């Protein structure tokens, strides 16, 4: 029988699937394989808007493997992390101007 944490995980995956954010694409040796559907969620905090995308969520999910990610999230929050993530990704692709982002990586910073 699954423990409490496993049941919570199954519920979370089920909720994401019901919301249309994930889709089961197969099985790998008895383990369900899911894909994340494209989505964009705009979040406004203190007059700054940031777009939450699957790429950003994937970056946040790596916090357990990277103390730096966990530290930035804990100390500065998701908006600062999103901005830093966008800059790091652009820099790793050889672009040093924050405005020079790929169109599919929409971290939008606007004052509202």
Mind listing the pLDDT tens digit for each residue in 70-101? 888 899 888 888 888 877 777 777 765 555 55
Q: Look at the chain and count its residues.
A: 112
CB of 68 closer than 8 Å to CB of 78: no
Q: Are strands 48-52 and 31-36 parallel, antiparallel or unpaired?
A: unpaired
CB atoms within 10 A of CB 68: 11
- The model's pTM is 0.52
pLDDT tens track, the chain, 112 positions: 667 878 888 888 888 888 888 888 888 888 888 888 887 778 777 777 777 787 888 888 888 888 888 888 899 888 888 888 877 777 777 765 555 554 434 444 444 3
């Amino acid at each position: 029988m699954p423990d409490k944490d496993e049941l919570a995980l199954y519920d979370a995956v089920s909720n994401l699937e019901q919301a249309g954010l994930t889709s089961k694409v197969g099985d790998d040796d008895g383990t369900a394989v899911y894909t994340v559907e494209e989505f964009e969620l705009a979040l406004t905090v203190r007059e700054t808007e940031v777009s939450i995308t699957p790429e950003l969520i994937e970056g946040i999910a790596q916090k357990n493997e990277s103390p730096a990610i966990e530290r930035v999230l804990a100390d500065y929050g998701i908006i600062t992390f999103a901005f830093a993530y966008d800059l790091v990704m652009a820099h790793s692709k050889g672009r040093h101007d924050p405005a020079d982002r790929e169109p599919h990586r929409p971290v939008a910073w606007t004052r509202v």
